[in-house]
Amino acid sequence: MPISDGSRCSPGRAAIGIGAALMHAAIEAARRHGHSAVELASQAHALEFYARLGFAAHGPEFLDAGIPHRNMRLLLGDR
């Protein structure tokens, strides 16, 4: 289930966890629909955010719209 990293939370909203809450909801929806993994393309500055949610970076860094990105994957398994 591809998820795009096309937008950012403003700094004020980041502190209250809106991004994490949205990601948890998307991950749970993927599980309910029987997906084995969630994949996304993260902007380089957001790698740690997704890593805290359990995503692992793979592949080389690449540019999308001139912004450095890395592909990331979360294996759902028995979590």
DSSP letter string, 33-78? TT-SEEEEEEEGGGHHHHHHTT-EEEEEEEEETTEEEEEEEEE-TT
Q: Which pLDDT belongs to residue 20?
A: 93
- Boundaries of every domain in the chain: 2-75
Highest CATH level, class, for 2-75: alpha beta
Report the predicted TM-score, pTM, of the whole model to 2 decimal places: 0.77
What CA–CA distance (Å, rounded) separates 13 from 77?
A: 30
Give per-residue pLDDT as tens, 33-67: 999 999 999 999 999 999 999 999 999 999 999 99
Across the chain, mean pLDDT equals 86
Is pLDDT of 1 > 90?
no
